[in-house]
Structure 1
Amino acid sequence: MKVSADAENEVHDVARFTDAARCVVTPVLELPADAALVVVGAFARLVRNAKSSAAATTPDGDGIVRSQTFEEGDVYMLEAPFDGFFADRYLMDFYDVAERDLCSRMHVHTGLRFVRMMTGPDTRIRVSSLSPFDVRNVPGVTPFLPRTFEDALPDAPPGAARTRYNLVVPPCSFVDVQIPRGVSHQFNAVGEHAVIDSVHPEESIEIFRERMSGFRMMAQTVFLAAEPPPAASCSDLPE
């Protein structure tokens, strides 16, 4: 899927892009505000501690740097792959789009992802894709259904209008999203209390398949826009 395996800012033409499948969303639970703040804050502290840790910011014996950065936030490889186990797990501490006046770009990954999004008080996550979301609802079990809406992809090139499908993770809630390989997605946090727990079930296979030289989230990403758009393009959450 990548032209240059180690490129960390490879951009593909969004006008010609077609999703390989759809993202599947499963609402998990809602928490009281105080409980949500404790949980989200504890995960965020792990990422922040890693960012200032010499051990996490330098290559370990397997050449893995556990503390990394991505467009949506700082990340920490909580669990690394090893011989006979090709998956890994990242935590991400989201940036608040209002603080940076920037949104993340629409992108795809060269391997599938399983993502649990978690929000605290006064914080929402806007999840976007170029294809509609499949939201799973098990009557009597699913605690809520996230709000969805459509708008125009703001950074599409002239003459290449694309519909953007959006889903809002409400405050103090957990929502899972299964992202097949090669499916567009975009996460943006509106508020300061948002984290992601992300499992990459084919990480080592992905590295070998793409002939990459190391475990870096950015090297496993293909962007569908050249530059991050301003915050106004993702912070508006219409009722």
Structure 2
Amino acid sequence: MKQSPDHEDEILDVRRHQDPGRNRLTPVVQLPPDVALSVVDALAGLVRAAHRTEQARPTPAGVLKQAQEFEEGDVFMLEPPFEGFFADRYLMDFYDTAERDICSRMHLHTGLRFVRMMTGPETTIRVSSLSPITVRPAAANWTGPLRAFTDALPGTPTGVHRDRHNVIVPPNSWVDMQIPRGVSHQFNAVGPNAVIDSVHPEESIETLREGMSGYRMMAQTIFLAKDKSPATTCADTTDPSSSARH
């Protein structure tokens, strides 16, 4: 899939891309705000500690770097792969889109992903894709459907329109996402309390297949836009066309 294996900002023309499948979401559990915040804080704390260690003692060249950065947030490879076990696991401490006034870009990966999104109080995650997102039946005791709507993908070339399909992860919730290889997606957290627990089931295979020189999330990513857009293009959690109907 990669044109240049180690390129960390490779761009695919959004006019040509068609998703080979669909992402799936599964609402898992809704928690009391204090419990949700405790979980998010504990996991985000692991990421922040790893990044403090990296700043104090940078990883030597040629050694696996576990504290990395991605567009949606800081990441920490909690469990690296090893011989005979291809998968690994990352934690991500989300940036607050509204605070930074920057949205992450629509992108795809060179391998499939399994993601658990977790929010605390006053925080949502807007999940987006160029294809409709399948929302599976919620687990027991989940209240209400996930909010979903479609808008226009921002930043496309002049005269090009692509629908962007969005689902909102509400505060104090866990929602799982299954992302097939090569399927577009975009995460943007609005609020300070959001983390991802992400399993990359075939990361060693991806790295070998694509000819990459090491494990780096940015190198395993292909973006569908050249530039990031302002928060106004991804911070809304309601259908922007709904106001026009009132």
Say whether the fold is shared (TM-score over 0.5): yes
Q: Which residue of 2 aligns with 1:72?
A: 72
Q: Name the residue aligned to 2:83.
A: 83
Instruction: Give the aligned partner of residue 196 of structure 1.
Output: 196
The residue matched to 1:217 in structure 2 has which SS?
Answer: coil
CA distance in 2, matches of 1:192, 1:2: 33
Q: Give me the whole-angstrom Cα distance separating, in 1, the residues matched to 2:74 and 2:19.
A: 26
Query: How far does residue 59 in structure 1 lie from its aligned partner after superposition?
Result: 4.6
- Contact kept in structure 2, 1:98 and 1:190, CA below 8 Å: yes
Q: Which amino acid aligns with 1:66?
A: Q
The equivalences for 1:40-189 within 5 A come to: 40-54=40-54, 57-59=58-60, 63-137=63-137, 141=140, 143-144=142-143, 145-189=145-189
Q: SS state of the match for residue 37, structure 2? A: helix
Alpha-carbon separation, structure 1, partners of 2:85 and 2:141: 32
Residue by residue over 1:147-195, the C-alpha shift from the partner in whole angstroms, topping out at 9 and shown as x without a partner, is 1000000111112100000000000000000000000000000000000
> Take 2:213 and 2:124, find their aligned partners in 1: how far apart are those partners?
35
Q: Does 1:231 align with 2:231?
A: yes
How far 1:141 sits from its partner (Å)? 2.5
Q: How many residues align?
A: 237
SS at match of 1:171: coil
The answer to whether the 8 Å contact 1:50/1:57 transfers is: no
Q: Which amino acid aligns with 1:187?
A: F
Structure 1 distance, partners of 2:58, 2:20, is: 34
Secondary structure at 1:208's aligned position in 2? helix
Distance 1:56 1:77, change over 3 A: farther
| Regions of 4+ moved over 3 Å | 54-57
Aligned 8 A contact 1:119 1:195 in 2: yes
Partners in 2 of 1:43 and 1:204 — Cα distance? 24
Structure 1 residue 146: Cα displacement: 1.1
Counterpart of 1:11 in structure 2 is 11
What code does the residue aligned with 1:148 have?
A
1-structure distance, mates of 2:141, 2:36? 18
CA contact (8 A) 1:27 1:142 kept: no
Q: Which amino acid aligns with 1:190?
A: V
> RMSD of the TM alignment (CA)?
1.5
Q: Is the 8 A contact 2:147 2:238 kept in 1?
A: no
CA contact (8 A) 2:71 2:104 kept: yes
Q: Please give the alpha-carbon distance, in whole angstroms, between the structure 2 residues aligned to 1:122 and 1:205.
A: 38
- Cα pair 1:56 1:67 within 8 Å, conserved: no
- Structure 1 residue 44: deviation in Å? 0.5
Q: What TM-score, normalized by structure 2, do the two folds share?
A: 0.93
Contact 2:108 2:183 in 1 (8 A): yes
| Structure 1 unaligned spans of 5+ | none
Matched letter for residue 146 of structure 2:
P
CA distance in 1, matches of 2:200, 2:126: 21
Hey, what's the Cα distance between the residues in 2 that align with 1:15 and 1:130? 11
Question: What do residues 7-32 of structure 1 show as CA deviations (whole Å, max 9, x unaligned)?
Answer: 00000100110001000110000000
Q: What letter matches 1:165 in structure 2? A: H
CA deviations over 1:181-227 (Å, ceiling 9, x no partner): 00000000000000000000000000000000000000000000001
